[in-house]
Every structure is written in C-alpha cells, then in structure tokens.
Amino acid sequence: MRIDPFIVMILGLAGLGIVLPAQGTVLEVVSVLVQVGIVALFFLYGARLSTGEVVHGLKVWRVHAVIVVSTFVLFPLLGLALSPLAPALVSQQLLAALIFVCLVPSTVQSSVAFTSIAGGDRAIAVVAASVSSLLGVFLTPLLVALMLGGDVHVDARAVLRIIGLLLLPFLAGQVARRWLRPWLLRHDVGLRRFDRSTVLLVVYAGFSRGTNADVWQVLDWTDGLVVAAVCVALLAVSSAVCWFAGRRFGRGAQVAVYFCGTNKSLAAGLPMASVLFSAATFPLMILPLMVYHQLQLIVGSVIATRLSADGRSVTP
C-alpha cells in the first residue's frame, strides 16, 4: 500500500510548476520538448504492440468485448451520472475533469503486472490493455468532443493535432516494429524511463501554464474531498461490474477483466489532455486522473496480493 514513487515525482513536478513555473523562452523550449516527447512516446507504443499478438488474442473476443465495453461504455455512462454534482458540489470545470477520467483508455503496465501477480491470464491482459490504448487514440478524443463539447473546445485543429501527435506516430511505430523489435527488447528499462520522463515533462509544462494563468485560485479543500470521493465511487462500481461480468470466462480471464476493465492510463491520459485542453484548463483536467491512478495502484496491489495468496476466485 505504499505510494508509487512515480506519483511522488509527478506531484513534485506539479509543485515545481506551481512554485517555480517555466515562463517566456524557457516555457517555449519546454513546450517544444513536450511535443517531441509525445510523438516519440506514441511511436514507441506502436512499436511495442505486436499486431500478431493482438490478432491471436482476439480469439477470445468475448472477454475483450467486456473490457472494451467497461472502458468506453460503462465508464462514460458513469461520467454522465456525475452531472448532478455541478454546480452544487463542484464547478463545471472540475466536473469536466472528473468526466475526463472516465474517457481515457486502460493502462498497460499495471493491468498486466497485477494480472500476473494474481495468477490471471497474462496474455489476455497484454492484448486487452494494448487494444484499449489503440482504441483510445480514436475514442477518447471522440468521447471528449461528445461529452465535454460545451466545456472543452474540440475543433478540427484539435483533431488534426491528435492525428499528428498521437495516431500517425503510433502507426509509424507499428510499421517500424519489424526492424526495431530487437532494439526495443534490449532497451526496455531505458524506454520505460523515457515514458515516465515524458509524462513528468507534460505535467511540469501544464502546471506552469496553469500557474501563469492563475488557475489555482478557483480551487479549495472541499474540491479535493469531492474528487477523492468520486474516484473511490468510480473504482468501486467498475470493480463490481467487471468482477461479476468476468465470472463466466473462468478465473484467469476474470482476473484480467477485473484489472484491465477498471484501470485508467495516466501515461496515455496526460499527453491526450495536453493536446485536447487549453493551457489554462490542463492542470485542473488532470488532477482527478492522478488521484484515480494512485487509488487504482493501492487497491490493485491489495486485490492482486489477496488473489495470489488464495489461489481461488476472491471477490474484491
């Protein structure tokens, strides 16, 4: 139940962006580095994803359908159910940030890791999380436009930025995979560090812009309590649905459905947010996602340990 060191680093960079924000030429340089980092990040995502593995894993398509429905149907519906919170408990902007949590794809690393620890079907988890990341490149911007169109300006320019920064590099990575695969395998640890460094840079640049725009003046401690409570509720409801929906497929698949269907990707969500949202709104939009990510790591580690120790189906 320890705090993830990566979350500590993210909080540290967020704090640095508040206390010592990048400005002027420094901010311009950081912004360019962020764009380059995002392109490289999604290129590497594409290069790591085995197309053949996805095709093979789709033989159990019913399992993957449950995970996709949880990620891109159940969660958005839960996001819609949050609408009554505004304006009584949260601002319209913070409500949009909470809904954004429901729109990002599943995460690969923790889904696969927790599934493996719990004795679940790792192959299903790898394919499901990878497919979710791929679909997220298309579906997350679409869902943002449909559900947050009144609060977030998603126009043709934003769509083109998504295509240029996320989709095209991803597809290029898929094409280059056949030549890069040995190199990727040799440098896996270093590449994961690059992934995290890119996310940290996105956070620092975003929080710097937020500080420069005086965005923090609209938050108070009650907002933090609401965000935490909503994240707990989202994880609880999705956990119950995914656990019982996966029972029909056997224990190994059930475990994979549980972790892949409830997790949300911080590594994919932050770059997407930096493209979809303005500099002034970006910091607020990612705060709930960071809270949910830490929560899923704490709960996931506990559930995975219980399942591993028990060796049987255990209700989370």
pLDDT at 313: 42
Return d(Cα 129, Cα 112) in angstroms, integer: 8
pLDDT at 54: 61
Residue-wise pLDDT for 267-294, tens only, equals 788 888 877 887 777 788 888 888 898 7
87: preceding bond cis by omega (within 30 degrees): yes
pLDDT at 51: 66
Return d(Cα 60, Cα 135) in angstroms, integer: 18
Which residue ranges in the chain fall short of pLDDT 50? Answer: 1, 312-316
Indicate the angle between helix axes 109-117 and 282-310, nearest 10 degrees.
10
pLDDT at 247: 92
What is the value of pTM for the model shown?
0.78
CA neighbor of 261 nearest in space, from 138, 84, 120, 98: 120
Token pair of 155 as six digits = 């126009």
Question: For residues 127 and 253, is the Cβ–Cβ distance under 8 A?
Answer: no
Residue-wise pLDDT for 147-193, tens only, equals 887 655 555 666 677 777 777 887 888 888 888 888 887 887 888 78
Q: What angle do CA 214, 155, 99 make, to 5 degrees?
A: 60
pLDDT at 154: 59
Token pair of 72 as six digits = 């891109």
